[in-house]
Amino acid sequence: MNRARALVVGSFLALAVSGCATAIENSIVFQPRKYPTGDWAPTPGIEDVWIESSDGVRLNGWLARAERPQAVVLYTHGNGGNITTRREVLRLFRDRLNASVMVFDYRGYGKSGGAPTETGVLDDARAARRYLAATCGVREGDVVLVGHSLGGGVAVDLAAADGARGLILEGTFTSLPDVAASHVPLLPVRAVMQSKLNSVDKIRNYRGPLFQVHGDADRIVPYSLGQKLFAAANEPKQFMTIPGGGHSDPPTPEYVAALKQFLATLP
């Protein structure tokens, strides 16, 4: 190990030992946009809702109801932005897939209170699913979970612990340390990262239908990590590759058609 690398590694490890790295790590893992950043203008047909997490943090979400929905969907978004960048998700699931769908902001995002941590966002997702199920008159286990990127790790945690009618994962990883290691292979991130979202272990406990999609040109979450996560999952499962697809590309017609088929065949 050369001197420059030793200094970098030593500094990172020193931060980890001192506890200072936790705040730095959270600022990298979670990149929220707080209100008023974003387009918060009311949209006809989209309800502004408020949810209380188990520790009292108030969370903001948007709910779009279909008239006779074939599914009730909770969408857990990625690590950046806020719900104002997810309007197309609502339109996709309600208008094209005939599903009632809710997106919500984790603590620290948008209008939601608090500050994001791994434990906190997982608790927020449970509160959001509880609220959605009660509002739409279904059991929590009958909610379809859809997660993008970091939100895929959140959705896996929910599905593995409590079940789901179906699980849809978009550009999702095996674990946060695996993603970090793919970007900074010279640093011992697996040893010091506090945030894990260890989906590759958790997904083994999920027994319901899984539909996973990943672009093979994803530069944020490597395609190989998506394949590894899928390999660890139980049947029934299906994997769709988007040729040339990046991490946050708009849904392709082929993906929308596959989503429609998946939702139509859920028990």
Amino acid, single-letter form, for residue 144: V
173 with 229: CB under 8 angstroms? yes
Please state, in angstroms and rounded to a whole number, the distance separating the CA atoms of residues 182 and 251: 25
What is the separation, in whole angstroms, between the first and last Cα of the chain? Answer: 55
List active site positions. Answer: 149, 218, 247
Please state, in angstroms and rounded to a whole number, the distance separating the CA atoms of residues 135 and 118: 26
Please state, in angstroms and rounded to a whole number, the distance separating the CA atoms of residues 110 and 232: 34
Structure token digits, residue 110: 């948008």
- Taking residue 170's Cβ as centre, other Cβ atoms within 10 Å add up to 27
